[in-house]
Structure 1
Amino acid sequence: MVREVRLSSDFSGLDTVAWAFKYLGLPHRNVAACDINKASLQVLQHLEPEWLGSDVRQRQIDRMPPSDLHSFGAPCQSYSKSGKRARNECELGQLANYAIDYIEHHKPRMILMEQVPDIVSSEDYLLELLARLSRSGYSVNMQVLKSSDYGLPQERCRLYVIGIQRPVVEFLFPPPIPCPPLLSFVDVLPASEFKVLPEKGPRGGSTRLDNVSRHLQACVEEGVNPFERSVIITSGCSASRCNRMVDRCVTITRTEAQRQGLWCSTKGGFLDFDEMARLQGFWTGFLPWQDLGISDPQFGGLLGNAMSLNVVLNLIPPLLRSAGFVTENEFRKLAERARRYHPKTCRPD
């Protein structure tokens, strides 16, 4: 019998770990969650944690419930190439310390931290975080993982840090799995609605049209037929920041998801929110965001900031095995269930 796992999270966002436990059918309790974002708080209220906070800087940790698995992914703008890159010199770059404060006080058996790989450019700060975990008795493993290596055709790279108190067996990062084709995540528009180029209009003026036109022309010049192979273009940004990928989705960012600016050549239109959710690993209809009073742009922002569900699904079985929460046989069953997951065809039992 799998042991019940108490879950807690900081900078919770969509709280990907909670959804992963739900899909895997693992017994768990959401004991604590914290996020300052209004839309995230509406999601977290839907998930019903026993303790809910809105600011990691203003809470009494000794009054928070203890947990078995604490997950967190502090805001990345301070480290991201596309952000301000102020690193740990500003308050935003120091927020992860508040999550470590909780960990030092309650000592959950397991930790799952996600961050952009650029945090390694702030080596002193990363080493400080790792040292605090080590002093608290954690065996720490870290590795940069791609969402495209775990069943999602999205080129999203993130650093994952795993911490375990008194591991029973060695933690091993899961091996890569085959990636399904991008079109299995996308709903192609009928011929009457299919567009070769975005229409010029209020959704970005000529910016989107110009970006898509330029990148599709470049594909043709490179010998890529954008109507036989899927090309995803970040159409809503400036020309200098606009980029494309063939047969893969570019990294879904908060900004581009908010403005629904990802153009798909084989769809004949922009990716909608269900499609962006699938490309982040969430099954269709997983969250009734509109019923919760969350606007489309707010939901897009949450998707862009979320941990990819497929990656977390594949991390949880070896994490639970290493911490002694599941047997070897249970681990194999969970790992196989995670490997077979596809967000368009699978959902919780």
Structure 2
Amino acid sequence: MLKSQQPGQTEDLRRRPMVATLRLPRVLRTPKTIKVGSDFSGLDAGIIAMRRMGLPIQLKFCSDKAADCRKFIEHAHKPEVTFGDVLQRTPVEEEYVDAYLWTPPCQTFSTSGNNDGIYDGRGALISAGCKFIRRNRPRLAIMENVPGLVTKKHKRVLKGIIKSLKSLDYDVQTRILNSADYSVPQSRRRVFLVAIRNDSLRREFTWPEPTGSKTVDAILDPLTSSDKPGRLPKAPRSRQLVIDAYAKAHAAGIDPRTIPVLVDVDCSPRYAVHGVNMAKTITRTRGQAGGPWVSTRGRRTSTTELLKLQGINDGEVPWEEAGLTKCQVGMMVGNSMSVPVIGMVLAEALYAAGLTTSKSAFRV
């Protein structure tokens, strides 16, 4: 007789209704410290942005094939591990992170570069991030590259990445953003991919709203006695490029001595380009050369100005303390993401992925 059964009573256990145990989905917690990793790190604009937001982060690893980049990373960001060539990194050396950023070389997908795509050795590096994600399943992954990735020639590469991530149960969003729309005095169009693991998706991811433009005259160093508005470069080809740009500015009613006209003085006349109170896209080679010619200063940009053309504030890139040359930091600036853009994308993505309890305010 069962203990709960009274004398004279019987119980047909077969007729007792079975109570099913309902297994609710596990709700992922917001971590006290966000574990972060990045590949093809360079200046690591994403880390600069996270620190500007005051987020509690633990930088698990960075990577860069360039020795000068690794030198800077270890001095400025102090990751737990710094890798060189990601293709030489073994799965055993990898570990889980909450947020993963990868910015593979863009020249091979750029119409300004060789445009060879995945057939260039650098183009194949774009798959390194997908492999890391497949093996380690971060809650959030963000990739940045040139808009050439969405052209007819290369769009199948981007489609392949999206398909791969969706098969791993990620929500994937892509969009082309222009730095000029996010308080950066540079016209710089880049495609961003945001992937959030579906079990981590707390709310719909939304792209940051444009914050408006910032002009070059707001970031220039104070005028010095060595500056001479309207001065021309000494090199003949550069000199002619500036003369032609100034002539076009005058024709539009703009005085280059009072309004900054930024001229690319390292291109051929066929590809001549200039911007009025706004820089055109800074590339690795243009950054290495010292940046564009500034009409209201009669010189190229200073290193401080070059950094500010990427939305990088004073003190955020201690390049001199790290032992870098102006050429080295210039190349890194040309390869970098614009800090305000990645910062605003991260603020939205981290919140959507449940890695922050509220949307962090990004200070431009």
- TM > 0.5: yes
1:65 CA drift (Å): 2.0
Q: State the distance in 2 between where 1:90 and 1:193 align.
A: 43
Q: State the distance in 1 between where 2:353 and 2:302 align.
A: 39
Q: Compared with structure 1, are the counterparts of its residues 188 and 216 closer, same or farther at alpha carbon in structure 2 (3 Å cutoff)?
A: farther
Q: Does 1:321 align with 2:355?
A: no
Structure 1 partner of 2:130? 100
1:133 is paired with a residue of what secondary structure?
helix
Q: State the distance in 2 between where 1:181 and 1:159 align.
A: 23
Q: State the distance in 1 between where 2:156 and 2:78 align.
A: 37
Structure 2 partner of 1:145? 177
1:188 CA drift (Å): 4.2
From 13, 19, 41, the counterpart of 2:48: 19
CA RMSD of aligned residues (A): 1.5
Q: Could you tell which deviates more after superposition, 244-253 or 262-271?
A: 262-271
The sequence identity of aligned pairs, in percent, is 29
Structure 2 partner of 1:169? 203
1:325 CA drift (Å): 1.8
Q: State the distance in 2 between where 1:118 and 1:235 align.
A: 24
1:95 is paired with a residue of what secondary structure?
helix
Unaligned stretches of 5+ residues in structure 2: 1-29
Q: State the distance in 2 between where 1:216 and 1:111 align.
A: 44
Q: Does 1:29 align with 2:61?
A: no
Structure 2 partner of 1:240? 270
Q: State the distance in 2 between where 1:249 and 1:286 align.
A: 21
1:84 is paired with a residue of what secondary structure?
coil
From 174, 180, 190, the counterpart of 1:158: 190
Q: State the distance in 1 between where 2:85 and 2:276 align.
A: 40
Report if the CA contact (8 A) 1:78-1:92 is conserved.
yes
1:319 CA drift (Å): 0.8
Structure 1 partner of 2:3? none
From 317, 329, 334, the counterpart of 1:299: 329
From 70, 86, 103, the counterpart of 2:116: 86
2:122 is paired with a residue of what secondary structure?
helix
Q: How many residues align?
A: 330
| Deviant stretches of 4+, over 3 Å | none
From 125, 140, 149, the counterpart of 2:157: 125
Q: State the distance in 2 between where 1:220 and 1:175 align.
A: 34
Report if the CA contact (8 A) 1:152-1:280 is conserved.
yes
Report if the CA contact (8 A) 1:39-1:294 is conserved.
yes
Q: Return the TM-score normalized by structure 1.
A: 0.91
Unaligned stretches of 5+ residues in structure 1: 342-349
1:35 CA drift (Å): 0.7
From 212, 218, 221, the counterpart of 1:178: 212
Q: State the distance in 2 between where 1:268 and 1:188 align.
A: 13
The 5 Å alignment of 1:181-200 reads 181-200=215-234
1:195 CA drift (Å): 4.2
Q: State the distance in 1 between where 2:225 and 2:239 align.
A: 20
User: Which has the greater radius of gyration?
Assistant: 2
2:172 is paired with a residue of what secondary structure?
strand
1:77 CA drift (Å): 1.2
1:178 is paired with a residue of what secondary structure?
coil
Q: State the distance in 2 between where 1:76 and 1:149 align.
A: 21
Q: Could you tell which deviates more after superposition, 302-311 or 42-51?
A: 42-51
